[in-house]
Amino acid sequence: MDKTEMLSGTLDLLVLRVLNTGPLHGFGIAERIHVLSREVLRVEEGSLYPALYRMEAKGWLKSEWGESERGRRAKFYGLTKAGRKQLETEEAIWDRTSVAIRNVLKSTELT
Amino acid sequence: MSWLRQIWFRFRTVFQRSRLEQEMAEEMRFHLELRKEREVAAGLTAEDARYSAHRTFGGVEQIKERCRDEQTWGWLEQGFRDARYAWRSLRQAPGFLAVAVFTLALGIGVNAVMFSLVRDHFLRPLLRDQRLNLVSVFTMPEEPARTFRFFSFTEFEAVRAERQVFSDVTATGFATVALGSVTEAKRSLIGFVAENYFSVLDVAPAAGRFFTADEARPNANVMVAVASHSYWNRIGRPSNIVGSTFRINGLEFTFVGLAPEGFGGLHNAITPEVWVPIGVAAQLAGFLGTADSRDLLHPRSYRLSLIGRLVPGLSLEAAHARLSPLAQQLNAGATASERRKIVVARPSRYNFATVQPDHPTLTEFSRRSATIALGVAGAVLLVASLNVANLLLARGANRRKEFAVRLSLGASRGRVVRQLLAEGLMLGLMGAAVGVILCAWCGASLHRWMVEIFSAGTFAFNPQPPIDLSVLGFAVATALLATLAFSLFPALRSTRLDLVSDLKRQPGSTGTAGTWNGLFSMGNALAMLQIALALALLFGAGLFVRAARAAANFNHGFRLEAGVVANIDFDFGRTPAAEIPRRQRAILQHALQIPGVQRAALASAVPYNFERHGRGVFAVGVADSDAQAAVYTAVSSDYFRTLGIAFLRGRDFTAAETSEATSHPVAIIDETLARRLFGDVDPVGRHLAMNRAEASGENPAATIEVIGVVRSPHEEVFEENAPARFYRPLGQVTATNTYLHVEPARGMAQSALIERLRRELRLIEPDNAVLLVRPLADFPRRNINSASIQMGAVLVAACASVAFALAVIGIYSVKAYAVARRTREIGIRMALGAQPGEVWRLVLVQGAQQAAIGIALGALLAVFTGRAAAHLLYRVSPNDWALLIAVSATLAAAAIAACLIPARRATKVEPVIALRCD
């Protein structure tokens, strides 16, 4: 399996992004990121759960216990209003950063 | 609202710990199961799938730990948890807990007591509030080396009007008076003050009011007073003090107010008993200073010392620059030699009379006293901390397995160290709590003792609250410092583990414990340090105790044992001056007729009472004779025999000389004055003069014939050389202050005589209060200087005893622990044929080596301590080798004794049991 290291700071953005479509449990979040990245990105549990707890402590996420698809009790994370705002901010930052990085990379090719 | 939710989210971790833990575990389990199902679906066996899931997930406990860190305000929740865990862990070892807390409490308590003493007497003896910008104001001759004097009221008004320099100036003076009721009075120091005195010093009354400008006007003679808090305490804290009456020199005064607790004017440690407005100063004799008249409006009535507040932001230098116009104004019409200048200085600790800086020996003395007091206390704390560190090391060694389990379960080493520090901190704080209680208890006893000492003097002792915020803060700070000292190292050391071998360990086995038996292992090094510190402290205590003994055995040069002293001061009453000699003779005659009185005499001063009237004395007919300062006492005949002061030459005063003013003027001098004035020549028959003109022999009638020489009596323990003295007969000179010395006949009880004297004196002197009737021995005993030597010795000795006991316990516990851990090794040795003697040697030789190293170190430390304390030691050399050897021998014996019990236990090891004990 292809394990691509996550760029630091992007995990929060990805988690917020996948939760924007609706609440998911931890395993679901990891799966969704894996799938949406065409199986390039793989979230390590060792980073995922501390990140989830951190974002919940910051008030971006709220958690609720509910039923999973197979009827088992699972903890679902959803975005709060603050979380949605944070997602917008992070997306904007990411856009700016990625454009900037691309520009830098292009300019290196030219020389 | 989101911040509210955040706060709740974090707080919840404190209160809902177990629920959150459960949820976290469930969340992780759910994840793992989904992962496992996914692997099974991909074709793995159930077992392989579980393994794979765990491998990709990583350490569950580590992840949980990181989640916990994210989830909370780390410090808050973990602090709670650490505290709870620490308490649980400490509670499991109540014996350890009790010993550790008690040890620390002793260390911290001793420090708190010393701190409160140093705070009251050396750090804060003065009201020094920077905001007030207080200065003492002095007047000095322009030409230096002239006599100092106080201010007159007119000068005070001029200085007070100087608004360029002072925002306000107040005046105060002291007077000794008979304070009390008509029949019961005590010689006391009171202050007379201007109406703005309290406002300049920025205090508010605890009850009632302070003085008004009308009351403070010269000769206003409004008989009102403000009580000091300590006077109020002494009379039993009556709730109705405001409005109550009392007497000063027989005159009735009414209390209008009560000063706040701890206020004593510029000085914090001592205080006048009461304050009266300067408007009544004319009724009071001065305590210091020169006054041609008691009337403040008399131009040469110099009775006031001034305290000013500089205008905000003004420095001393700037103030001096602005003071010369004021001096010009005051010098108007003065001759060149009379011209004076005005000087301001920060309030001094000791000098309230002159502008000279604090006397270096006094400053040095208090600096050294404070250093020694805190140093001794610090050493006790260090010994206590070392003891607790040793206990913690031993405990840590026994808990290695526990730590190993926790570390392997995902706790970081920092976490475990923090846990151990939390245990240490809890011990420290509990020690501080008990220590503060000990301090309050000791402080109360010390305080009672000081009040008793001071009750003999004219000043009142001004107690500060024994426990206040500064003492509490100090105790907590001490506890924190001690905690770091005793728990950080053991914590770091105990958690440096080799996981695999430590997990396999059985409690109590030797294993990898390593250097436990090395001569310089941690525990042993700490024990050696304790021996060294205890030795230095014991040596210091020995020096102080010897000093106290030297002071107690001080040869006073007069008989103390049986004598009784009574005091009446005609200065405090209204007896006409011409009447006084007759009344004094009547008192003496009456006293001699009391059955059980063997001898009686009168004197104008009593030894050890800080009452000294000095005079310059010249020898007549000795070329270039300089004035010799001598202490002057007026006495009746038989004074020297009553006090047991030996005659070296000549004779006593005759009855005629003590009763007839017209008799030939005579004096008796002591050997010191004889030597200084006349050298080797026999002074009997020579003449003294009281000034240079008479000394030249121009007016033979004014000179005084020396008729006798007596041995010098000492009256001040701190004085290297007794002052020169001369005595005049009461008939030829008048003295208002009258001390009746009585020597009881054999078989007469001192207490009965005191009662009898009190009654008789009241009977024949109904108009003058009897100020005291006391055993003569009381004067040196309650002399503040003798008492402070005794107190120093008691405090240092108490500290040293505590340190000694702690050090012995420390040695014992290290040895006992080492033997317990060596049980297996000793068992093997014995199984292999070692004799008990060799086992004894095994333990004792090392003990002796450690004691020797500790003692060598301690001896060095002791020599330094002795040098540092040398200034405080009363007539004792710090190089007391005999004492050093004795103390070292005591410690060596104690150290060996502390090893004996563990050694004996070692020889009782049964090889078979020892080998099986793992």
pLDDT digits (tens, 9 = 90+) for B826-859: 788 888 887 878 878 877 888 888 889 989 999 9
Averaged over B750-774, what is the pLDDT? 89
Q: Do A46 and B66 touch (CB under 8 A)?
A: yes
- Residue showing tokens 């250097």: B515
Starting at the earlier edge strand, list the strands of the sheet with A61-67: A24-25, A73-79, A61-67
The tens digit of pLDDT for each residue in B180-213 reads 876 678 888 889 999 999 999 888 999 999 999 9
pLDDT at residue B916 in the model: 64
CA pair distance B906, B822, nearest whole angstrom: 8
* Residue B840 CB-density burial (10 A; 0-12 exposed, 13-18 middle, 19+ buried): middle
Instruction: Using CA coordinates, name the residue in chain A closest to B63.
Output: A46
What is the chain B residue with the closest CA to A30?
A: B31
Q: Do the beta carbons of residue A57 and residue B71 sit within 8 Å?
A: yes
Q: What is the pLDDT of residue B384?
A: 87
Res B40 pLDDT > 70: yes
Check residue B33 and give its pLDDT: 85
Residue B580 CA from chain centroid, whole number: 43
B165 SS3 class: coil
| Residue B158 Cα to chain centre, angstroms | 41
**Average pLDDT, integer, range B243-251:** 89
- Compute the distance between CA of residue B507 and CA of residue B509 in angstroms, rounded to an integer: 6
**Which pairing describes strands B725-729 and B666-670: parallel, antiparallel, or unpaired?**
antiparallel
Residues of B in contact with A58 (CB under 8 A): 6
pLDDT tens, B404-458?
Answer: 887 777 777 777 888 888 888 888 899 999 999 988 888 888 877 877 777 766 6
Least confident interval from B673-677, B684-688, B712-716, B864-868 = B712-716
Cβ contact A46–B23 (<8 Å): no
Of A46, A59, A68, nearest to B6 by CB-CB distance is: A59
Report CA Rg, chain A: 16
Work out the burial of residue B164: count CB atoms within 10 Å of its CB; fewer than 13 is exposed, 13-18 middle, 19 or more buried.
exposed
Of residues B301, B287, B763, the one with CA closest to residue B572: B287
Neighbour tally for B503: CB within 10 Å:
14
Choose among A26, A54, A80: nearest Cβ to B27.
A26
| Chain B interface mutation, best of A11, A24, A27, A60, highest count of B Cβ atoms under 10 Å | A27
Please check whether residue B873 is in contact with residue B525, taking contact to mean a CB–CB distance below 8 angstroms.
Answer: no
The pLDDT value recorded for residue B147 is: 62
Residue A2: predicted pLDDT: 42
Express each pLDDT in B772-826 by its tens digit: 898 988 888 777 777 778 888 888 888 888 888 888 888 888 778 777 777 777 7
Cβ atoms < 10 Å from Cβ of B745 = 13
Residue B514: per-residue pLDDT: 39
The residue assigned the tokens 């709220």 is A62
Phi-psi category of residue A82: left, alpha or beta, with phi > 0 → left and psi -120 to 50 → alpha:
alpha
One-letter-per-residue 3-state SS of B185-198: EEEEEEEEECCCHH
Band of residue B38 on the pLDDT scale cut at 50, 70, 90: confident
**Would you state the pLDDT for residue B719?**
65
Among B124-128, B655-659, B883-887, the minimum mean pLDDT is found in B124-128
What residues have CB less than 8 Å from B106, skipping those under 6 apart?
B380, B384, B435, B438, B802, B806
| Mutate: best of A3, A45, A73, partner B, most B CBs <10 A | A45
Q: CB under 8 Å to B303, separation ≥6 — which residues?
A: B150, B152, B173, B281, B286, B289, B291, B294, B296
Report the C-alpha gap between B254 and B264 in whole angstroms.
20
The proportion of chain B whose per-residue pLDDT surpasses 90, expressed as a percent, equals: 14
* pLDDT average, residue stretch B524-546: 86
Report which DSSP code applies to B273. Answer: S
Residue range B859-883, pLDDT digits in tens: 998 888 888 777 667 667 777 888 8
If you average pLDDT over residues A5-23, what whole number do you get?
A: 80
pLDDT tier, B596 (very low <50, low <70, confident <90, very high otherwise): confident
Judged against a pLDDT cut of 80, whether residue B733 lies above it is answered with: yes
Across the interface, whether the CB atoms of A46 and B72 are under 8 A apart is answered: no
User: Is the pLDDT reported for residue B579 higher than 50?
Assistant: yes
B283 alpha-carbon distance from chain centroid? 37
Cβ-Cβ contacts under 8 Å for B720 (sequence gap 6 or more): none
Average pLDDT over residues B895-904: 84
CA distances from B338 to A76, B147, B332, B335, B341 (A): 98, 11, 10, 5, 10
H/E segment holding residue B628: strand B628-635
Helix or strand (DSSP H, E) at B658 = helix B655-659
Confidence of residue B466 (pLDDT cuts 50, 70, 90): low
Give the model confidence (pLDDT) of A53-89 as tens digits: 888 888 888 888 888 777 788 889 999 888 899 899 9
Q: Is the ipTM of this complex over 0.95?
A: no
Q: How much is the pLDDT for B286? A: 56
Query: Which stretch of B296-300, B397-401, B574-578, B795-799 has the lowest confidence by average pLDDT?
Result: B397-401
- pLDDT confidence of residue A3: 46
pLDDT at res. B739: 93
Q: B139 and B343 in contact (C-beta within 8 Å)?
A: yes
Nearest to residue B265, comparing CAs of B311, B203, B216? B203
Q: Is the pLDDT of residue B360 over 60?
A: no
Q: Which residue in the set B3, B9, B63 is minimally distant from A56, CB to CB?
A: B9
Q: How confident is the model at residue B741 (pLDDT cuts 50, 70, 90)?
A: very high
| DSSP structure string for B108-163 | HHHHHHHHHHHIIIIISSB---GGGTEEEEEEEESSSS---B-B-HHHHHHHHT-T
Distance of alpha carbon B67 from alpha carbon B417, whole angstroms: 20
Residue (of B250, B244, B249) closest to B227 by Cα position: B244
In the numeric block, the tokens 């006054």 are attached to B291
Res. B515: pLDDT tops 50: no
Contacts of B9 in chain A (CB under 8 A): 56-57, 59
What's the CA angle centered on B674, arms B668 and B680, to 5 degrees? 135
CA distances from B748 to B639, B723, B742, B752 (A): 20, 34, 12, 7
**At residue B35, what are phi and psi to the nearest 5 degrees?**
-60, -40
Q: What is the pLDDT of residue B361?
A: 59
Those residues of chain B whose CB sits closer than 8 Å to some CB in chain A are: 2-3, 5-6, 9-10, 23, 26-28, 30-31, 34-35, 56-59, 62-63, 66-67, 69-72
Test A80 with B2 for CB contact under 8 angstroms: yes
- Integer Cα distance of B730 and B741 in angstroms: 14
How much is the pLDDT for B24? 84
How much is the average pLDDT of B343-348?
78
Centroid of chain to Cα B851: 33
Beta-carbon contacts below 8 Å between A and B: 66
CB contact under 8 A, B71 and A56: yes
pLDDT for the residue B636: 92
> What is the pTM for the complete model shown?
0.68
Are B58 and A46 inside 8 Å of each other by CB?
yes
Residue B28: list chain A partners with CB under 8 A: 49
Find, among A38, A33, A72, A69, the residue nearest to A51 by Cα. A33
Residue B653 has pLDDT above 70, yes or no: yes
CA geometry: angle B94, B96, B99, nearest 5 deg: 105
Which H or E run contains A21?
Answer: none
Note the helical H segments in B495-620: 499-504, 522-552, 580-593
Which helix H or strand E contains A15, and what residues bound it?
helix A10-19
Helix, strand or coil, per DSSP, at residue B605:
coil
Q: What is the mean pLDDT of chain B?
A: 81
Selection from B115-119, B134-138, B486-490, B872-876 with the highest mean pLDDT: B134-138
Do residue B67 and residue A50 have CB atoms under 8 angstroms apart?
Answer: yes
Q: Residue with structure tokens 């055993």?
A: B775
Identify the bridge partners of residue B634 per DSSP, sorted by sequence position. Answer: B728
Which tops the pLDDT comparison, B872 or B665? B665
Contact check, Cβ <8 Å, A53/B28? no
Percent of chain B predicted with pLDDT > 70: 86
pLDDT at B761 exceeding the cut of 60: yes
pLDDT at position B843, please? 78
Residues 6+ apart with CB under 8 A from B528: B850, B853, B854, B857
